[in-house]
Structures are given as structure tokens and as C-alpha cells.
Structure 1
């Protein structure tokens, strides 16, 4: 299946195999101690310009969009679009964390699920999962995180439907949460996909699902303010998270930090230069970085960070601002 949207952006295809080229000394490092670039609101490159505003939005936004759509709707579309590359192109550019915000359209009798960021996408979740699988099959040593979240309008029936499709499509490629994932162990078992699922009830039922990655939002438009926020959060260290139902299971992690400035500027330290895979503002519009190791950011226009949990149950945490793993 081809990507639903073709772009003229020149993707650096050499980043498509970057995990397989990592030095052997990193193969046994838990993934939550590696840096993974990812994309923020991954699927917003194919938002439907004719879509209604999602059910999660405020009554005021819906009212204004209904009364003066010629003014409000273009603003919504511009604000909501954070990516221009297709999901396949993002993976080729080096993204290994996909931010999937999933929704069911109001009054839709079908089981079709879409992605959402104020408005819905033109493509369904199932079609995109098949597209991701096709890419994985040609990149057997690359590992990705699918962060399934939001779940706007999903009932228990729709959750069951979505999880069944995830299992059907990725099957043995799904990494169970009772392991400490490393590149070597995942390669040995044929695992390529870690699914972070933002619904505790469903996570408890399925060993293929990992707990949701906590999300800290920097909510800064100025680079300096964002860096200050990230440095302040970094000094606090990884938060301790108690997973519901497992009081003794304490996981240290760091959230996915998000700022609001477009593009990514120069990264200074030698350690951070290694993280520059797919951090070119011409390739990915909004970047999330999952970070599990210490990192100090300088001259960074926009970064999202994820720090991993030190635990068997969920080694990943999300933040909106800075970290060593993800996009």
C-alpha cells in the first residue's frame, strides 16, 4: 500500500536503517536509555479539509466554525497541520516514535477509525497500520514505538476492534511488556513494534500493550523559554510512576516534553550531535525526541522528549519539550 499523500520533500533515505547501524556496544542497552526521534501528531499531513471539527473540541470552536467557516476553518487547518511527510517518509527520515491520536467520528455507524487533531484525517487507522507493516518488513532491524492515544469517541467495542486489528497486522512483531527491550533481544525474537496504549483497562487485558507514555507539555513559543523549561524539568530527574494495580511496580521515567516552535536548530554537544537523525527542519515539521539519558539542549528551536521508565512494565514516558528517545 502506498502512502496516502505524496510530497515533493526530499527525504534522506540513509536514515531509514539507522538503528541497524548502531555500534554493537548499544545493542544490549535498554531502549529507554537510547535517544529515539519521532514525529508529533504524525498523521496531520492528511487532514480532511472537508472534515467537521472533532467531538473533543470546545463548543465555542464548533460554534465559530459553523457560523463563519470561511474564516475559522482555514485557521484550524493551518494550526492543526504539523507534518508534511507521509508516515512512510517519516520512517525513512529516521522517526521511530509515531504519535497516533485516534478517533471515531460522531454518528458514524461503521467501525472505521481515523486520526485526529481538531479535524479528522482522510485515511483510516487500519490502512496506515498496514502501511507501517509494509515498511517494517523491508527494514527488519528497525524498531518503532506506536503511541496510541486520545481515543476521541472510542467505546469499549471500538477499543476491542482497534486492538484486534493491531494484533492481526503486527502479530509476532509486537514486543510484550514483560521484557526489558533491547535491540539485540528484539532482533532475536523478531519484535519491531512497541505499542503504548492510553487506556489502563485495555492494557491490563493485553500483554502486547504497554502503559501510556506520560505527556508533559512545555507550551512555549520562544526558544529560550522552552530550553529553560526543559532544563528545569531535566534537573528534577525521571518521575516515579505507580502503575494502577501494581503498587510495588515503581517506574522512573521522564515525560514527553513539547514546545511550540517549528524546526530544529543546531545541537551543540557531541552526544547530542548523534541525535540529529531526522532533526532537519526540511524533513520533519515537528519533532519529538524520546530521551533516556542525560541531555542538555542548546539552540534548539523545537524538540519533544520522551524519557523511558526503568521497569519491565513500561520503560517509556512522554513529555513535551526534551528527552533522549522519540519524535
Structure 2
């Protein structure tokens, strides 16, 4: 695909920036295609390029991992970091590479009024990262992002509403309010200068028309460490008709539990599981097509691997 370059050392790892304006450059025939029928590359736990190893262990962490930290302290946090980091590229670099769907886990932090990303360890402050994404959209007015806030920790209704106010203030008129998803085409979005679809997976969303509820997306997730089982799961779910008014997300990831991590104390997610998941997931995608019952959103860990973005965007040719 035009604009994609590759590393000399590993032709399966796409360099960035590669696809900074791919929505703008889509063929005119796709401008009236609903977003849930386009092939859209996304990143899993999009924010984990930064996790603070000096922070407390997060509220999303299992008791077994917490017990490890009590015994081994900083050494255990190094292990947690290696099994929690799923991305190496910043938001700006992910956007330049072509990522348009972002997967967020959010938490309050004791002693702070700010909201943070969380994946076993605390990440960066969310507000600054949203501003970074907004800055990219300002420079690329025909690109559209889907922001999926799907896990929350330590947040009451008041905190949710305060955080939602931050989202509204950051993106303003770029936010596309709830609509019939079949009207959500690039032409419609461009005409209204909408660039952000915010999915907010908490009951408080019922009070805000600007945010889309959890029911608007189906996320297919195998919850296994076996790549063969991951593909079997995808084949089963792919053959089932999905509701016409939802996004569909395939998460090409393998997920360890505490026992798996403890048994591989010196390993890492990237070397032990991502190395197995990515090539299998991309090979599976190569046999599929986008469309009403086809591929829509695809997410992966370390999205620069295996020509992932190239393969997903190739479905839109």
C-alpha cells in the first residue's frame, strides 16, 4: 500500500509513519460505506507504551501478583511491566502508522485528582494523551478515530461525569453523537466535521448522547494462550451473523493468567505470547474480507509487527 515502508532487518515489521491519511485517501466508492463495514486497524491496551514501574500495583491486578510484589518488591514490578506492556509506539506514532481504534482502561489514583491509564501498573495521565490525539486530528481533518473506554477502576458516578467532561472539552465539536450506525459514513462525518466516536462502557453513558454505549460494539476475544484455539474461536464467531448496528472487533491477542506468568518469571508477553499470536492472527486475516458480516475493527499487541496494518488496510482496496 502506498506510503508503507519496511525495515531492512525484518520485512514483517512496518516502519512508521506509513498511513497518516488513509481515510482521506480511500477510494471515493468507500466514502458512503458505514464505518462498521470498513477494515479498521486498532491497538490493544493502546496506552501501554508507558507504564510507571515506580507506581503502586493497580486495582486490576490479581491477588497472586500482589503477593509477588509484597515478597519481591521492585523485582516483581519489573516482571509485571514485561507482562503488561502491549505497545511500543506512542499515540502519535500509532496514528501515523494508521491506527484508528484505541482501547483504553481507566482508573483513579489514590492521592490524585487526575485520571490515569491502567494495566496492572499505572500509565500516563489520560487528559494529556487525549490532547495529543486531538492535536493529530487538527492536522489531519479527514481522519476519524474510535476511542473505546471499556474498563474502569475506582471511579464513582461523580468521577465518571468529571472525566466525561474532560473528554467533551478536549474534542468539542469533533465528537459524533449517537446515531444509527449505518449512517456513520466518512461522507457524513466529513460534512459535519466529526472526527471522534467515543464508546463509553459504563451505565452513566445513558445520560450523555455524545457517547456511544457498550452495546454498539462486539469484541471477540478468545482468552487463551494457544494460538490455534484463538483462530478456532475466531472462525466460530466469524461465521455467526452480527447485528447490523454494531462495530465488530477481533482481538488478535493471547492472554496469560497469573499462573502462566509466575511459571515464566523471566519471560515477557512480547517474547512468549505476542511472537506466537501475531503471525497466526495476520495469516487468518489474509483469508478474510471486510463488510457487513466480514472484518471490521482488528486489534493486536505491538501493532508494528507482521505487516498487520498493511494487511488490514489492504481489505479496503
Verify: 1:79 aligned to 2:83, yes or no.
Answer: yes
CA displacement at 1:209 relative to structure 2: 0.2
2:117 to 115, 120, 123: 115
CA drift of 1:268 comes to: 3.4
Partner in structure 2 of residue 154 of structure 1: 155
The Cα offsets for residues 176-226 of structure 1, whole Å up to 9 and x where unpaired, read as 1124210000000000000000112x2211111001234332123333322
Shift of 1:59: 2.7
Instruction: Report the TM-score, using the length of structure 1 for normalisation.
Output: 0.73
Runs of 4+ in 1 over 6 A off after TM superposition: 277-282, 286-289
How far residue 55 of structure 1 moved from its aligned partner, in angstroms, is 1.6
**Larger helix share, 1 or 2:** 2
The answer (yes or no) to whether the contact 1:11–1:89 under 8 Å persists in 2 is: no
How far, CA to CA, are the matches of 1:169 and 1:30 in structure 2? 25
Aligned length: 268
2:304 counterpart of 1:284:
yes
Distance 1:147 1:281 in 2: 16
Q: Is the alpha carbon distance of 1:80 and 1:141 closer, same or farther for their aligned partners in structure 2, counting shifts above 3 Å? A: same
Residues 90-239 of structure 1: matches in 2 within 5 Å? 90-105=94-109, 107-108=110-111, 110-121=112-123, 123-179=124-180, 180-200=183-203, 202-212=204-214, 213-238=217-242
* Counterparts of residues 59-74 of structure 1 (less than 5 Å): 59-74=63-78
Q: For residue 268 of structure 1, what is the aligned residue in structure 2? A: 286
CA shift, 1:130, in A, is 0.4
1:158 positional shift: 1.2
Whether contact under 8 Å (1:83, 1:285) holds in the other structure is: no
Per-residue CA distance 1:265-317 (angstroms, 9 max, x = gap): 45534847xx9x9999975369999xxxxxxxxxx9xx9xxxxxxxxxxxxxx
Matched position secondary structure for 1:19: coil
Contact 1:230 1:257 in 2 (8 A): no
Provide Cα deviations, 1:91-112, integer angstroms capped at 9, x if missing partner: 111000011111111x32x320
Pair 113,141 (structure 1): closer, same or farther in 2 beyond 3 Å: same
1:10 deviation in Å?
7.6
Mapped contact 1:27–1:184 kept (Cα < 8 A) = yes
